[in-house]
Amino acid sequence: MISGAEPLMPIRSLLMPCSTTGLVVTVVALTISHLPFFALVEMEQQVDEARFASLCLIERPMLNVKKPNLAAAEKLWRDELSTHKCNPSRDWLHANCTMKLADVISLRKHQIGQPQPAELENLYKTAVTSFENLHTCFEAASANESLGDFYASHKKFKDAEICYKKSIAAYESKFGPFCFYSRDIITSLVQLYIEQNRCEEAIALLNKEIQALEAKSTECPVAVNLVRFELGKVYFHMGRYREAEAHFKNAASRGISHLPVDSYIAATAQKLGRKDEAERHFKSIVQSERAMIARHQLGSCEWNLANALELLADFYTEEKRSTEAIPLLQEAFTIRQNAFSSNNALPMPPGIKKDALQKVARQLSSVYEQQGRQAWAREVLEVAAKYSKK
């Protein structure tokens, strides 16, 4: 180190506990001053990683699924950022703590259809800038994806598209075109195109992804089929139901059970006028969910059963068979209410639960009104409103 020159990157005080004697401090300082610059950077990175790991361990019990303490988690990250003195545009620890704070705020404030606080946008933008300046492409890609999701939820499609494309480019600069990490972001970008009625662009992007995946001999064929399922969704949105149905049935034949393939097959059959076939599919989905719950199968839950019940009820409502829709909606309404109970550990933001309850309440209330049961219709909406205030 040149005599009299300032150190290029100071080692944080975490390296030297405040309880050490003056002699120890002097020895440590002299030792560090003779280390090469790259060694100082490596030491500081290790200290930052250790500090971040310890904070994550402290946060873990605060995010307990059954009884999360999001206010405490938010305070943890705010306190760290307020005491962590650094250059926020080029600091690994600051960037990661910023992302953590943004994620907690998103969980606390998340309400479908309602604006997030402006602070959330600023936090994600700060993290993006930091990671990009640090040339950490993996973290930069993740931060851009989160910022893109924020913009998409606020219908800022142009900003969301820019962030998604930057995220995809960052992943692909490290792992190659149409890599594993970019697939979910491509799906988000496709959804963005659909919402803007830019379906031809969505189809072109998905076809390019299919070609790229098929060209990789190491790729699992299921990956290609997942993209074909997304392609079917685009065709469904465009009203091209026969093309959509072909892609959905292709996906079903490959046994991709974690996708809602069956519900899309039922919906396309209904759109194509094959009502009996559609009803059989919708009933089959309900029966399948009940069977999974009875077997305590991994991934099964009453929340998914409520989704299936609502699909079948929607079918009956459209077919003017409200009498058959009512018991299905009543059961779904009960399941949505139970999602708020203390012994129900659904890992999802409260806003999603409230929106789902409001949706089924409106459906059930509408059917009651069609039957002239006005008092029942009002009661359902009143019950749902109580949960919205919690």
Span 363-386, pLDDT tens digits = 999 999 998 999 999 999 999 998
- Find out whether 160 and 176 touch, Cβ atoms under 8 Å: no
Residue 154 CA to residue 139 CA, distance in Å, equals: 23
Average pLDDT over residues 127-153: 92
Instruction: Tell how far CA 240 is from the center of its chain.
Output: 28
pTM of the model: 0.75
What pLDDT is recorded for position 292? Answer: 86
Rounded distance between C-alpha atoms, residue 179 and residue 63, angstroms: 31
Burial (CB count <10 Å: 0-12, 13-18, 19+), residue 302: buried
- The greatest distance separating any two alpha carbons of the chain, rounded to the nearest whole angstrom, comes to 90
Evaluated on CA atoms 146, 152, 156, 162, the torsion sign reads positive
d(CA 349, CA 108): 8
Burial of 355 (0-12, 13-18, 19+ CB in 10 A): middle
* Cβ pair 225, 251 in contact under 8 A: yes
Q: Read off the pLDDT of each residue in 14-35 and give the average, rounded to a whole number.
A: 44
Instruction: Count CB-CB contacts under 10 A for residue 191.
Output: 18
270/272 Cα distance (integer angstroms): 5
Return the structure tokens found at 186: 């491509």
Closest CA to 216 of 187, 254, 178, 184: 178
pLDDT of residue 43: 60
Rg from Cα positions in the chain? 26
Say yes or no to pLDDT of 301 above 70.
yes
Residue 235 in contact with residue 260, Cβ under 8 Å?
A: no
Of 226, 222, 315, 196, give the one whose Cα is nearest residue 263. Answer: 315
* pLDDT digits 0-9 by tens, 179-233: 888 999 999 999 999 999 999 999 999 999 988 888 876 556 778 888 889 999 9
* Tokens matching residue 314: 């929607």
- What tokens appear for 168 in the block? 């995809």
pLDDT of residue 105: 85
Give me the sign of the Cα torsion angle 260, 261, 265, 266: negative
Mean pLDDT of the chain: 82
Structure tokens at 9: 């990157």
Instruction: Determine the Cα–Cα distance for residues 80 and 88; give it in Å rounded to an integer.
Output: 13
Evaluate whether 195 touches 161 at the Cβ level (below 8 Å): no
How far is it, in rounded angstroms, from Cα 369 to Cα 219?
53
Amino acid at 318: E
CA distance 229 to 247: 6
pLDDT for 163 equals: 96
Q: 244-249: long-range contacts (C-beta < 8 A, 24 or more apart)? A: 244/268, 245/269, 245/272
The predicted pLDDT at position 347 comes to 64
User: What is the DSSP code (8-state) at residue 180?
Assistant: G
Amino acid in the structure at residue 186: I
The three-class DSSP label of residue 34 is coil
End-to-end Cα distance, the chain: 61
